[in-house]
Amino acid sequence: MATVASAGERALIDRIRARLRNQPSFLTLGIGDDAAVIEPSRGELDVITTDSLVEDVHFRRAWTAATDIGVKAVAVNFSDLAAMGATPRAVLLSLALPPALPLADFDALVDGVVSATEAAGAALAGGNLTRSPGPLIVDVVAMGSIRRRRMLRRDGGRAGDQLYITGPVGAAAAGLGMLEAGVERQSLDADARECLARYERPAARLRCGRLVAASRSATAAIDLSDGLAEAVRQLAEASLCGAALTAEDIPVHAGAIAWCKRAGRDPIEFALAGGEDYELLFAVPARRRRAFLAAVGRSGCRECVHIGQLTSESGVWIQRANARIPFPDGFRHF
């Protein structure tokens, strides 16, 4: 079987180049030189982020198709751009490849990266290939742009701002749970299949982030990569506030509720702690509520809901029936 080791570095780079379609005019110099050269967007700031997927930490090759790994590696980065309100322009792909990786998997992974990148109007501009003596590591860098006055940060929230999320939570964690439990894909209903899809092929809320940023209706934003609880905690702490959520307002995905029933888990705790829902969390002052919801509506995002507010009292809490309980921890990488 052909492997990345048998192909050689130059042939791998040629295979990447052969897959590129979108070479926008701002890409002055793409793959093939010592560095990529990009013309900045006039009057805008550069926004840059990096995030990686590590085999056996973030994915298992036995569970997830190589294309999906590529799609997800881009989506997790674009989600960070979405949380700033930025528009993606360029991606760099840095791969640490086990020598025995089948060439077909390499091609599929690159296909996933290129399709997710180009679907957002961005270009794969460069990167790096190296050998890995251990896991496959897919490290993506995403660059975007935003006007200075539109930039969304996580530290701009104020006590009294209302908290919204752009869609149901717990779905990705339920999808991961199903993979870990070895469920048969054929046996799954539509809700469960959606949970798997959210875990395997997340889509960043780029349009929503951009339109909310343009409306200047939100004071702060963050994505839910590390879970809802962690996102609320980090936004609140950065904004020097506390936060209070109401359990019954939290939209737990139907597939996650069904999964929790089967697994004997509490759906609210599951949804608060579960990571990898690439939704966005916004803090919105009451007087900007209509402008915010109008921007969200224009983005095509139909499931945005109010879940609580920032408080002057510090600490992050959830009101549940008559009890007020502190947040569980989110996903930690160590």
Q: Which of residues 101-160 bind its own copies (CB under 8 A)?
A: 125-135, 137, 139, 141-144, 146, 148, 151, 153-155
Q: Among 108, 115, 96, 89, which residue's Cα sits nearest to residue 15?
A: 108
Nearest approach in angstroms of CB 94 to its own copies is: 5
Residues 231-270, interacting with its own copies (CB under 8 A) = 238
Q: What are phi and psi of 141, to 5 degrees?
A: -115, 130
Q: Which lies closer to its own copies via its Cβ, residue 39 or residue 180?
A: 39
Decide if 109 contacts 59 (C-beta within 8 A): no
Q: Which of residues 179-218 bind its own copies (CB under 8 A)?
A: none
User: What are the residues whose beta carbons fall under 8 Å from the beta carbon of 165, sequence distance 6 or more?
Assistant: 224, 228, 251, 279, 280, 281, 282, 304, 305, 307
**Residue 112 contacts residue 70 (beta carbons within 8 Å):** yes
- Of 47, 178, 301, 310, the one binding its own copies by CB under 8 A: 47
3-state secondary structure of 79: helix
Enumerate residues 56-95 that contact its own copies by CB under 8 A: 56-58, 79-81, 83-84, 86, 90, 92, 94
The crossing angle, in degrees rounded to 10, of helices 103-119 and 66-84 is 30
Start-end of H helices in 144-189: 171-180
Cβ distance to its own copies smaller for residue 144 or 255:
144
Please say which residue, 52 or 319, places its beta carbon nearer to its own copies: 52
- Name the burial class of residue 184, with classes exposed (0-12), middle (13-18) and buried (19+) by CB atoms within 10 angstroms of its CB: exposed
Q: How far is CA 157 from the centre of its chain?
A: 21
With CB under 8 A, what is the number of residues at the site for its own copies? 73
Between 4 and 179, CB nearer to its own copies: 4
Tell me, residue by residue from 263 to 302, as one string, x for binding to its own copies by CB under 8 A and - for no binding: ----------------------------------------
What are the beta bridge partners of residue 59? Answer: 55
Among 54, 108, 159, 197, binds its own copies (CB under 8 A): 54
Assess 31 for contact with its own copies (CB under 8 A).
Answer: no
Near its own copies in 310-329, by CB under 8 A: none
